[in-house]
């Protein structure tokens, strides 16, 4: 690894490049500005959420090799907001240009495919649900019975917010799934079948490792998904021996594979066991609370990790926190009232759409439950989405 430790920063330096223009990229840009770190964004449209806040914005599709190459050459270091890019192209461009892309394209490649991601978890002895590869209807039937008649089929590639996730709990549901099977977009990349986990609640944690090998983790949080989409997050969870041990093994995992940057990890809590659902090699929706609940947020921690700055677990600013996603409910222009018990993070998307993540609100309070009550009330009463 190159020696970037404690690198001095300054506005005269070449920018950190961010691939993508959505809300995650926007929040990375805003936090880079706060640190005086120049950033550049590559995205399709000049009204993309991140393009609106970046002085150095370059138009281009993320699958256009030429555009990627000329963008990367302008940068000191490159990162991304989505793992669904062509990891092989990025790997080749990293070699060609000598510019580091972090997290490394090799990690992106393993994680962007559900099958290799599962293997990565198993190889590193991390707890995850039993799974089988499914490429055709016969394998789907076999997996259904082998995994106990309650499974979740997941597209291997490009799944998000529940697009590409099919819960099948009865033989009748299996027939419905199979009837659609051949027309599911992206089916050519294949599926995995996972054993259905009867969880009591879903959890998440952010873990980071910097370019010189130091790691940290943020608190465990509880997340609620509605229609497979995150609605709210609250925390911190009270720690116990199991959670502490898992956080430690996740930090060790990042060390072992030599990962650089922040990683989001989604989990199921069955009451007895903790089971990893999925990994995201980037900043993550479940970590947005950190913008207002921690002394240092996930975006800053990610940027510091890839720049090789020192890492230290950030202090909690109150005993409880919560985040509520503002999801579009209509196609009308949103309107809202602002009060001083919440912090609003609006993404500046040009169109409101049902289910679209338009922004989020954060609150802190003396307990997680009190913070959650505040954001729930505000989201419902004060936002016309």
Is residue 197 a contact point for ligand ATP (CB under 6 A)?
Answer: yes
Stretch that binds ligand ATP, among 155-163, 290-298, 315-323, 340-348 (CB under 6 A): 155-163
Q: Rank residues 265 and 306 by Cβ distance to ligand ATP and give the closer one.
A: 265
CA 256/CA 76 separation, integer angstroms: 26
| Contact status: 202 vs ligand ATP (CB under 6 A) | yes
302 binds, among ligand ATP, Mg ion, none (CB under 5 to 8 A by kind): none
* Contact by Cβ (8 Å): 302, 79: yes
Binding of ligand ATP at residue 129 (CB under 6 A)? yes
Nearest to 78 by CA among 41, 46, 113, 115: 41
**Using CA atoms, how far apart are residues 302 and 291, in angstroms rounded to an integer?**
13
3-state percent breakdown (helix, strand, coil) of the chain, nearest 5: 35, 30, 40
Q: List the beta bridge partners of residue 77.
A: 16, 100
Cis upstream peptide for 103 (omega within 30°): yes
Residue 102 vs 230, nearer CB to Mg ion: 230
Strand 335-336 relative to strand 320-327, pairing: unpaired
Nearer to ligand ATP, 39 or 203 (CB): 203
* Element of type H or E holding 323: strand 320-327
Task: List the single partner that 91 binds among ligand ATP, Mg ion, none, CB under 5 to 8 Å by kind.
Answer: none
Q: Which does 357 bind (CB under 5 to 8 A by kind): Mg ion, ligand ATP, none?
A: none
Decide which of Mg ion, ligand ATP, none touches 113; Cβ closer than 5 to 8 Å per partner kind: none
Tokens found for residue 131: 């799974």
For 342-345, which contacts have Cβ atoms below 8 Å and span 24 or more sequence positions? 342/374, 342/375, 342/378, 343/291, 343/292, 345/27, 345/288, 345/291
Work out whether 161 is an interface residue with ligand ATP (CB under 6 A).
yes
Q: Tell me the window of 192-200, 214-222, 253-261, 375-383 that interacts with ligand ATP (CB under 6 A).
A: 192-200
CB of 357 to ligand ATP, least distance (A): 10
233 contacts ligand ATP (rule: CB under 6 A): no
Q: Which does 202 bind (CB under 5 to 8 A by kind): ligand ATP, Mg ion, none?
A: ligand ATP
Binding site for Mg ion (CB under 5 A): 266
Binding site for ligand ATP (CB under 6 A): 129, 152, 154, 159-162, 164-165, 194, 196-197, 202, 225, 228, 266, 277-278
């Amino acid at each position: 690894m190159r020696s970037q430790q404690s690198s001095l920063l300054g506005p005269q330096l070449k920018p950190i490049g961010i691939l993508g223009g959505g809300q995650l990229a926007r929040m990375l840009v805003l936090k880079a500005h706060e640190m005086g770190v120049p950033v550049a964004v590559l995205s399709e449209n000049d009204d993309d959420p991140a393009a609106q806040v970046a002085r150095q914005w370059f138009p281009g599709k993320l699958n256009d090799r030429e555009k990627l190459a000329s963008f990367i050459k302008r940068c000191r270091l490159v990162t991304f907001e989505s793992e669904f890019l062509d990891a092989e192209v990025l790997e080749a461009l990293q070699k060609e240009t000598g510019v580091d892309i972090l997290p490394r394209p090799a990690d992106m490649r393993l994680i962007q495919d559900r099958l290799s991601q599962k293997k990565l978890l198993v190889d590193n002895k991390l707890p995850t649900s039993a799974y089988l590869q499914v490429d055709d209807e016969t394998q789907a039937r076999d997996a259904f019975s082998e995994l106990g008649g309650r499974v979740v089929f997941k597209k291997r590639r490009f799944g998000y917010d529940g697009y590409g996730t099919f819960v099948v709990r009865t033989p009748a549901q299996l027939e419905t799934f199979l009837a659609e099977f051949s027309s599911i977009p992206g089916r050519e990349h294949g599926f995995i079948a996972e054993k259905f986990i009867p969880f009591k609640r879903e959890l998440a944690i952010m873990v980071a490792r910097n370019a010189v090998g130091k790691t940290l983790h943020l608190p465990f949080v509880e997340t609620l998904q509605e229609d497979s989409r995150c609605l709210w997050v609250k925390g911190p969870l009270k720690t116990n021996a199991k959670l502490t041990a898992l956080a430690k093994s996740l930090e060790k995992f990042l060390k072992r594979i030599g990962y650089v940057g922040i990683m989001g990890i989604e989990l199921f809590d069955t009451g007895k066991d903790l089971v990893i659902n999925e990994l995201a090699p980037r900043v993550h929706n479940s970590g947005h609370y950190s913008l207002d609940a921690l002394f240092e947020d996930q975006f800053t921690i990610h940027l510091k990790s890839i720049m090789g700055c020192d890492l230290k677990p950030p202090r909690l600013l109150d005993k409880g926190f919560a985040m509520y996603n503002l999801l579009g409910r209509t196609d009308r222009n949103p309107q809202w009232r602002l009060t001083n018990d919440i912090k609003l993070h609006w993404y500046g998307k040009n169109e409101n759409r049902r289910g679209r993540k338009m922004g989020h609100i954060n609150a802190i309070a003396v307990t997680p439950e009190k913070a959650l009550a505040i954001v729930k009330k505000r989201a419902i009463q004060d936002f016309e989405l």
